[in-house]
Structure 1
Amino acid sequence: MDGFQSDTPARLIDAAEHVICHASGFSEVTVRRIAARAGAPVSAISYHFGSLEELGIAVATRLYRRLNAARLTELQRALDRAQPGPARIEDLVSALIAPSIRWSLDRSSGYPVFDYFNRMRIMTARPERFAGFVSSVEHHRIFADHLHRAAPWFSEREIAWRINAALGIRSQITQGRSRIELLTGAPLNQQDPEAVVREAVRMASALFARPVAPAVTRTVERRSRAVIRP
């Protein structure tokens, strides 16, 4: 049967990504539209994936792997530029958050799939299906190692907290731009993604900057040194 050919799963994933990215609402993503786009019978979705929800997870998983590959490529470039020393904090932070921001401002990237995925996760009756996807942090641990080398004045735990904060900045831009615009009183220039990236990286990089001792502490330290001089 043509609908169950070996390439059908890949065609269904391609078709689902296209339908999701061109839908004007969650309800427009249907098995009939996806199957028609893939040139497969409607029953092929349940045969290969079990349900529309499982197909949506497969689409998001593939896209996430692509996004993570873009992150790791940018990370490797930052490391190569810095050899033999540690990479610049700004370059590491850029590798961590910039690909997501760029994709979110470019509909051709497939980023609407993540919005669809998050809607599914809220509405699902089977939250365990999403557990592995949501709890995966191994790729972030790679960044933690390099950021700890670049910012050794913070402990590994403090680096992890700051990575979470940097990812929060990213998420506000990718999912809550209106809130940022209300708080800052200025619109994000979505026509210039690189300007948005630069601003986000600048703010997130400040999380890893070497702490500056308070002026009072520095004054006390200078006086202490002056007292013990012979």
Structure 2
Amino acid sequence: MLRIAICDDSREDRKTILDFVCGYYKKHDMDAQIDDFETAGKLLSAKDTYDIYLLDVIMPDMTGIETAKCLLKKREAPVIIFITSSLESAVDGYRVNAAGFVLKPLIQQDIEETLRRVMEQNFKLRESSISIVHNRVPMELKLSRILYFENRLHRVYIVLRNGDILSIHQKLNELQEELKPLTCFLRCHQSYIVNLNYVEALEPIGFLMINGQTVPVSRNFYKECKHVYYHFQLK
């Protein structure tokens, strides 16, 4: 069951969001526990953690952006949707890896479309996996665990979010073809495929990852990578 938190200081907006979100999951016959909070303080003091957070950007005690920064310290890569009256907040939102934005005044179609995209990008990936052989042992590796692939010395090294590195005998081109249906995996170098879900920023030399490492972007790939990355962020 999905766990969803809504935080908005406006009682009217909070109820509207709750109704729209409940309607979306009911329409798609999906189980979801949805809790709502009137202040960021109450949300952050809750014992429970959530799969998706819908945060109002402008709140009196703490802004949605500040709340998101606190959530990033509590758990790895929280899925955050900002509710905002201005897209100017999008710049700050991307710094905390926002999954989406919904503009006020609230429209049901906008919230449902954002939820659909967020579910597809974040939770479909969590369930997807690839078959690999590591140390002669076949295994299913969840794609959501992968930061990037690196081709080195005729082997492919898979760098995971927890810091582990798996070594496999497989060509990077074959992996690229297998991952093609998932837009979050991008070939950015002759020797690298990166998971855009875990990119903090695109810098002149490459992608800065959430673990502080930099994945190189080659000169031949840079223009296309820049285009794909910024379009991915805006989805």
TM-score range, shorter chain: under 0.3
User: TM-score by structure 1 length?
Assistant: 0.26
User: TM-score by structure 2 length?
Assistant: 0.26
Give the structure, 1 or 2, with the largest relative contact order (CA under 8 Å, sep 6 or more). Answer: 1
Name the larger-Rg structure: 1
Higher share in strand: 2
